[in-house]
Amino acid sequence: GNSVTQMEGPVTLSEEAFLTINCTYTATGYPSLFWYVQYPGEGLQLLLKATKADDKGSNKGFEATYRKETTSFHLEKGSVQVSDSAVYFCALHSGGGADGLTFGKGTHLIIQP
Amino acid sequence: DAGVIQSPRHEVTEMGQEVTLRCKPISGHDYLFWYRQTMMRGLELLIYFNNNVPIDDSGMPEDRFSAKMPNASFSTLKIQPSEPRDSAVYFCASSSGVRGNQPQHFGDGTRLSIL
């Protein structure tokens, strides 16, 4: 079946540090990949996506590249801000008949001033 | 545009009581999803609908859980009777399709506490 594995959190960084949150997946077919962000007390918001191999999704300074050879979709940002503190979820949609998203367990990111 | 609207935002009730969670999807979206979020298990898909018809309910934990979508603008998730282990945040999401360029939009969730 489908699965998504994310690095365990919390991840604590200082403001302006470089961020990487690892995500690897197992899926049937050719999945689409997503990063969602959840701020405290809110629902999940789509951060970025990539629908095929070698695509790069980007938004708000965050980037992730769909790597089929390593089945990975790592999230990166060059200089984080306190306002980036949130929980980040990697997710996939396999497109192979199951229409729901498969989520990783989430990575809690804490940015200190 | 209004997003996905869930109610109530918070629900605290005693075990054994019936709980009903409500969701209004984004207008024009054909798909509606119910998820449950817990610390132990993360986000789990419970059930989803396409054009008001339940397509996959394999994630519904047991018969105490039921979901309906009587029309395109309203869905309910019901737990009867409720148990403390049902305490979680329940999210509703909707989308216009299920391809990669049709992402799901989430509501703010209902935080359910069963005492």
User: According to the model, what pLDDT value does residue B100 have?
Assistant: 61
Tokens of B1: 């545009």
Question: Across the interface, do A100 and B109 touch by the CB < 8 Å criterion?
Answer: no
Where chain A has pLDDT below 50, the residues are none
Residue of chain A whose alpha carbon sits nearest to that of B43: A103
User: According to the model, what pLDDT value does residue A97 have?
Assistant: 54
Where chain B has pLDDT below 50, the residues are none
Best interface-test mutation with A: which of B9, B10, B56, B106 has the largest number of A CBs within 10 A?
A: B106
User: According to the model, what pLDDT value does residue B1 have?
Assistant: 63
User: According to the model, what pLDDT value does residue A2 have?
Assistant: 86
A74 touches chain B (CB under 8 A): no
Is residue A90 within 8 Å of A73, Cβ to Cβ? Answer: yes
Exposed/middle/buried for A26, CB within 10 Å: 0-12, 13-18, 19+? middle
User: According to the model, what pLDDT value does residue A42 have?
Assistant: 85
Q: What residue type is assigned to position A7 of the chain?
A: M
| Nearest beta carbon to residue B33 from set A45, A100, A106 | A100
